[in-house]
């Protein structure tokens, strides 16, 4: 028996206690609870972490799922329901609340919002992060329903980052795995299929009963993606002896117009006595509806799996579906249901009517469906999850790819802000490289024997030598200068941030045309001969603490990333950014921290390093701890 683990399942935007079909709750909620309860039953200390939406949830300390898994509500943002589109503003706060908890042994995030908040925390804890997307934005956009809105570019960028940075990405179906690989170009061994299970104690095949009027069932949130209007149109073609249609599920946030149009269409077709709308159902109510239905109708434009179809099969209820995406796997054609290869209502009516008119064929399909649906339970799914985790080898550097390029303005920045990351990348066998904007020749020099170099022509070559020694300490990172740009200099503003010096020379980096600097950066990458970069790393939009050369390198880095079509990661500067909000956290343990400290010490004109744990003093006298975590934000 595997050793008990402390496992966090993160479901930020929807509570596992919400009934599927309400608000944003759907099949994902079923998966989270199914896995969590199976892990709890197997003796693991599993918890589901979700965002608190009310005073009562904030105060709840003993909330549990039906299977006994603890649900912990973390306060992030208002104590109220928040639209999914507004939740990114609260991810940092959710991550901070996670950091206050006793570290878990494994973090499994469900949906991209959960991963964006939880990944850097898992990285800081030094534990594996497993990501389940549940819906792949690129796949959804490729099969967009009429009237639906495409997923924003921000979500696609974050999903790409998550699947690269996580130790493992789990897909619900082979179709979802293929979509992830196609959209985000991941190494195949880091994306695996974890097929969901079924609560076989709840979803069971009951003996067939004769009903004067058969029932067709749609179990779905009301939204364009689910294609419920197609079921209504097909029903109208079945004639006066048609079956009844039950549509069970709440309206998804933001889709009230679609729901109203659906009800109007029912009325226009004269189906008011034939179509019933039910609210979201409990799990017990859902099981009862499935047992009573003759057919489950799933006309979705796309599904990563279609868990309700598997539950229908376990209940002995055949499914009529599009077979789109993962539905091809959750509904094997001719085994647990029938695929309709078009979206013509006439074709759907023909299939539904044909099955209802042949009781023998429908009964045989129900029997094979039941065998298929009961073949896998949640205990097996949970065991597969832990088996996959046992094979993981943590590599937090994966998010940057094989050839990341770091753009820095002056010597010593690469060591102070990113030295640990660079050392970790080299240790992992990756090939980082550095472009440096200037020699830092206008910078201050620390007091002591090197101070006479300040303001002299000898400072620039001396700092080139310090940089070379620092790069050797980091593992021999290739580096080149952009060209002959000079240090712009700076002065401190009243707000505590740096600003451009009034006497910046004509050749200063911050005064050079941006397009020219970008061309110089691309040329520098070619000189390094390391190949096209897989990501670009530089300062944030404020240049960390405001230095004009830092700002210019940020602007350059963003355009270089755009030129190569790769992600751009902005450094989160702990000396000036107290929020700590990040998408990627690189914990520095052992060798990377030692190498970073040694590289910083090589910049003897700019800072001094001393103490245990080590601290560094800048030329202006500011004292800081040597960071043991380096953080980055993914910038769209």
What's the average model confidence in pLDDT over 223-252?
Answer: 94
Please, are residues 407 and 537 in contact by the beta-carbon 8 Å criterion?
Answer: yes
pLDDT of residue 1: 47
Range in 391-405, 527-541, 544-558, 560-574 with the lowest mean pLDDT = 391-405
What confidence tens digit (pLDDT) does each residue in 92-147 have? 999 999 999 999 999 999 999 999 999 999 999 989 999 999 989 988 888 887 87
Percent of the chain scored above 70 by pLDDT? 97
Please, are residues 622 and 574 in contact by the beta-carbon 8 Å criterion?
Answer: no
Predicted structure pTM score: 0.78
Task: Pick one of 3.40.50.300, 3.40.50.720, 3.10.129.10, 3.40.50.2000 as the CATH number of 215-375.
Answer: 3.40.50.2000
Q: Kindly tell me the number of DSSP H helices and DSSP E strands found in the chain.
A: 21, 25
Token readout for 440 is 């830092």
pLDDT over threshold 70, residue 575: no
pLDDT of residue 579: 58
Query: What fold characterizes domain 397-635?
Result: Rossmann fold (3.40.50)
CA 155 to CA 137: how far, in whole Å? 7
pLDDT of residue 297: 98
Closest CA to 107 of 42, 188, 162, 159: 162
Query: What fold characterizes domain 6-193?
Result: Rossmann fold (3.40.50)
From-to residues of CATH 3.40.50.10320 in the chain: 397-635
pLDDT of residue 37: 96
Whose tokens are 């309709």? That residue is 340
What's the average model confidence in pLDDT over 420-427?
Answer: 94
Q: β-strand 629-635 against 568-572: which pairing, if any?
A: antiparallel
- Stronger pLDDT, 130 or 184, i.e. the higher one: 130
Closest CA to 317 of 335, 295, 345, 339: 295
- Stronger pLDDT, 263 or 575, i.e. the higher one: 263
- Stronger pLDDT, 636 or 196, i.e. the higher one: 196
pLDDT of residue 304: 82
**Cα distance from N-terminal residue to C-terminal residue, the chain:** 45
Whose tokens are 């009573």? That residue is 292
* pLDDT class of 577 with cuts at 50, 70, 90: low
pLDDT of residue 544: 86
Please state, in angstroms and as integers, the Cα–Cα distance from residue 22 to each residue in 18, 114, 589, following that order: 7, 19, 44
Please provide the average confidence, as pLDDT, over all residues in the chain: 91
pLDDT of residue 578: 56
Closest CA to 478 of 519, 518, 526: 526
pLDDT over threshold 50, residue 33: yes
Please state, in angstroms and as integers, the Cα–Cα distance from residue 463 to each residue in 389, 503, 519, following that order: 46, 22, 25
Residues 6+ apart with CB under 8 A from 252: 23, 24, 221, 222, 223
What confidence tens digit (pLDDT) does each residue in 138-182 have? 888 888 878 788 989 899 999 999 999 999 999 998 888 988 999
* pLDDT class of 580 with cuts at 50, 70, 90: low
Name the DSSP letter for residue 79.
S
pLDDT over threshold 90, residue 20: no
CA gyration radius for the chain?
29
What's the average model confidence in pLDDT over 424-452?
Answer: 93
pLDDT of residue 591: 87
Range in 14-28, 320-334, 337-351, 480-494 with the lowest mean pLDDT = 14-28
With residue 407 as reference, give the H or E element that holds it: strand 404-408
Please, are residues 425 and 404 in contact by the beta-carbon 8 Å criterion?
Answer: yes
pLDDT over threshold 90, residue 487: yes
* pLDDT class of 325 with cuts at 50, 70, 90: confident
Percent of the chain scored above 90 by pLDDT? 72
pLDDT of residue 576: 64
Neighbours of 91 (CB within 10 A): 24
What confidence tens digit (pLDDT) does each residue in 356-394 have? 999 999 999 999 999 999 988 999 999 999 998 888 877
Please, are residues 558 and 568 in contact by the beta-carbon 8 Å criterion?
Answer: yes
Token readout for 377 is 């339970």
- Stronger pLDDT, 4 or 453, i.e. the higher one: 453
What confidence tens digit (pLDDT) does each residue in 283-304 have? 999 999 999 999 999 999 988 8
pLDDT over threshold 90, residue 622: no
- Torsion angle of the four alpha carbons 586, 589, 590, 592, in this order, in degrees rounded to the nearest 10: 10
pLDDT over threshold 80, residue 64: yes
Whose tokens are 């990458």? That residue is 525
Residues 6+ apart with CB under 8 A from 13: 24, 51, 84, 87, 111, 113, 114
From-to residues of CATH 3.40.50.2000 in the chain: 6-193, 215-375
């Amino acid at each position: 028996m595997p050793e008990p683990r402390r496992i966090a399942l993160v479901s930020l935007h929807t509570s596992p206690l919400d009934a599927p079909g309400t608000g944003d709750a759907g099949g994902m909620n079923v998966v989270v609870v199914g896995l969590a309860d199976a892990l709890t039953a197997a003796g693991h200390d599993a918890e589901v972490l979700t965002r608190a939406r009310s005073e009562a949830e904030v105060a709840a300390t003993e909330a549990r799922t039906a299977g006994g898994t603890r649900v912990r509500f973390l306060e992030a943002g208002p104590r109220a329901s928040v639209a999914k589109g507004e939740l990114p503003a609260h991810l940092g706060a959710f991550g901070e609340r996670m950091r206050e908890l006793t570290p878990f042994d494994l973090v499994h995030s469900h949906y991209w919002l959960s991963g964006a908040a939880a990944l850097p925390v898992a990285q800081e804890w030094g534990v594996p992060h497993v990501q389940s997307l549940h819906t792949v934005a690129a796949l959804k956009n490729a099969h967009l329903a009429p009237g639906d809105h495409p997923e924003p570019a921000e979500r696609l960028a974050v999903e790409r980052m998550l699947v690269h940075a996580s130790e493992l990405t789990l897909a619900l179906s082979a179709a979802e795995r293929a979509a992830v690989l196609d959209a985000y170009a991941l190494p195949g061994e880091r994306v695996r299929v974890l097929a969901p299970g079924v609560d076989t104690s709840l979803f069971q095949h009951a003996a067939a009963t004769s009903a004067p009027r058969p029932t067709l069932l749609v179990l779905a949130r009301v939204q364009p993606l689910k294609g419920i209007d197609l079921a209504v149109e097909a029903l109208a073609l079945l004639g006066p002896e048609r079956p009844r249609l039950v549509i069970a599920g709440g309206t998804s946030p933001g889709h009230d117009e679609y729901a109203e149009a659906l009800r109007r269409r029912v009325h226009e077709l004269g189906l008011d006595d034939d179509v019933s709308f039910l609210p979201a159902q409990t799990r017990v109510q859902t099981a009862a509806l499935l047992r009573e239905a003759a057919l489950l109708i799933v006309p979705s434009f796309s599904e990563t799996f279609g868990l309700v179809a598997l539950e229908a099969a376990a209940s002995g209820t055949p499914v009529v579906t599009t077979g789109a995406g993962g539905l091809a796997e959750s509904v094997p054609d001719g085994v647990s249901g029938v695929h309709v290869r078009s979206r013509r209502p006439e074709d759907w009516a023909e299939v539904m009517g044909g099955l209802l008119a042949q009781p023998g064929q429908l009964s045989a399909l129900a029997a094979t469906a039941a065998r298929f649906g009961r073949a896998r339970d949640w205990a097996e799914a949970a065991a597969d999850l832990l088996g996959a985790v046992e094979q993981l080898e943590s590599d937090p550097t994966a998010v940057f790819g094989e050839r990341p390029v770091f753009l820095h303005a002056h010597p010593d920045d690469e060591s102070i802000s990113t030295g640990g990351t660079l050392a970790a990348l080299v240790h992992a066998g990756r090939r980082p490289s550095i472009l440096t904007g200037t020699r830092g020749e206008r910078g201050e020099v620390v007091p002591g024997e090197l101070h006479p170099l300040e303001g002299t022509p000898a400072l620039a070559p001396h700092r080139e030598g310090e940089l070379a020694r620092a790069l050797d300490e980091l593992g021999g990172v290739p580096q080149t200068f952009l060209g002959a740009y000079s240090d712009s200099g700076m002065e401190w503003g009243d707000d505590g941030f740096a600003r451009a010096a009034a006497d910046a020379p004509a050749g200063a980096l911050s005064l050079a045309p941006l397009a020219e600097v970008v061309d110089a950066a691309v040329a520098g990458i070619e000189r390094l001969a390391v190949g096209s970069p897989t990501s670009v790393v530089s300062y944030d939009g404020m240049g960390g603490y405001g230095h004009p050369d830092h700002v210019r390198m940020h602007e350059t880095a963003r355009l270089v990333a755009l030129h190569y079509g790769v992600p751009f990661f902005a450094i989160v500067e702990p000396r000036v950014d107290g929020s700590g909000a990040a998408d990627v956290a690189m914990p520095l343990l052992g060798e990377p921290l030692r190498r970073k400290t040694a590289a910083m010490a090589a910049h003897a004109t700019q800072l001094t390093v001393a103490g245990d744990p080590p601290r560094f003093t800048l030329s202006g006298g500011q004292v800081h701890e040597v960071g043991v975590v380096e953080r980055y934000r993914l910038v769209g």
